[in-house]
Amino acid sequence: MAAQVIRAGLLTTVQDLGRYGAQRFGVPVSGAMDRYSLRVANRLVGNADRAAALEITLVGPVLQFDSDTLIALCGGDLDAVVGDKPLPMNRPVWIARGSRLAFGQCLTGCRAYLALAGGVDVPEVLGSRSTYLRAGFGGLQGRALKAGDRIELIGVSESYFPGLRESQAFSDEGFAAPNWSVRVDAERLMLQPQRVRFVAGRHWQHLPSGVRKRFVGENFRVGAASDRMGYRLEGVDLDKHGFGDIASEAVAFGTIQLPPDGNPIVLMADRQTIGGYPRVGEVASVDLPLLAQLKPGDTLRFERIGLGEAQRLFHLQRSALAQIGTSIMAAGSQ
Amino acid sequence: MVISTNTDLSFSPLGDRALLVEVGDHADPETVARIRELADHLARLDLPGVLDFVPALCTIGVHYDPEQWRDESKVRTPYERLVARIQEALPDLESLGVSEGPLREIPVCYEAEFGEDLTALANAHELSIEQVIQIHSGAVYTVYMIGFAPGFAYLGPLDERLALPRRETPRARVPAGSVAVANQYTGIYPADLPGGWHIIGRTPLQLFDSSHDRPSLLSAGDRVQFVPIGAAEFRDLRTGQ
pLDDT: is A151 or B148 the higher one?
A151
Q: Which residue of A has its CA nearest to B22?
A: A249
pLDDT at B1: 47
Q: Which of A128, A108, A86 is nearest to A37 (CA)?
A: A108
Q: Do A24 and B220 touch (CB under 8 A)?
A: yes
pLDDT at B2: 52
Paired strand residues for A62: A7
Paired strand residues for B81: none
Residue of B1, B10, B16 to mutate, interface with A, max A Cβ within 10 Å: B16
Distance CA A295, CA A110 (A): 6
Query: Where are the domains positioned within chain A?
Result: 3-184, 191-315
Alpha helices, DSSP H, located in B91-175: 118-124, 129-138
Tens digits of per-residue pLDDT, A116-149?
A: 999 999 999 999 999 999 999 999 999 999 999 9
**Across B171-196, average pLDDT:** 95
**Across A58-68, average pLDDT:** 97
Distance CA B118, CA B164 (A): 12
Distance CA B55, CA B10 (A): 15
Handedness of CA B135, B138, B142, B143 (dihedral sign): positive
pLDDT at A183: 86
* Contact B49/A at CB under 8 A: no
Q: Do B56 and A247 touch (CB under 8 A)?
A: yes
Q: Which amino acid is present at B85?
A: R
ipTM of the complex: 0.96
Q: Mean pLDDT in chain B?
A: 92
* Contact B185/A at CB under 8 A: no
Q: Which residue of A has its CA nearest to B68?
A: A315
Q: How far is B130 from chain A (nearest CA, A)?
A: 33
Q: Of A135, A138, A250, which is closest to B149 when you measure between CB atoms?
A: A135
Q: Mean pLDDT in chain A?
A: 94
For residue A315, pLDDT beyond 70: yes
CATH architecture of the domain formed by A191-315: Beta Barrel (2.40)
pLDDT at A294: 97
What is the Rg, in whole angstroms, of the alpha carbon atoms belonging to chain A?
20
Q: What are the backbone angles phi and psi of residue A148, rounded to the nearest 5°?
A: 100, -20
Return the SS3 of B132: helix
Distances (CA, A) of B133 to A10, A203, B66: 47, 40, 50
Residue of A311, A316, A321 to mutate, interface with B, max B Cβ within 10 Å: A311
Distance CA B9, CA B96 (A): 13
Q: Do B152 and A24 touch (CB under 8 A)?
A: no
Distances (CA, A) of A87 to A1, A71, A110, B1: 21, 11, 17, 48
pLDDT grade, residue B234 (50/70/90)? Answer: very high
pLDDT grade, residue A66 (50/70/90)? Answer: very high
Q: Which amino acid is present at A13?
A: T
C-alpha A2, offset from chain centre: 22
Q: Which of B114, B227, B61, B202 is nearest to A255 (CA)?
A: B61
Q: Do B146 and A252 touch (CB under 8 A)?
A: no
pLDDT at B6: 43
Q: How far is A294 from chain B (nearest CA, A)?
A: 20
Length of chain A: 334
For residue B241, pLDDT beyond 80: no
For residue B5, pLDDT beyond 80: no
Domains and their CATH numbers in chain B: 3-95 (3.30.1360.40), 103-240 (2.40.100.10)
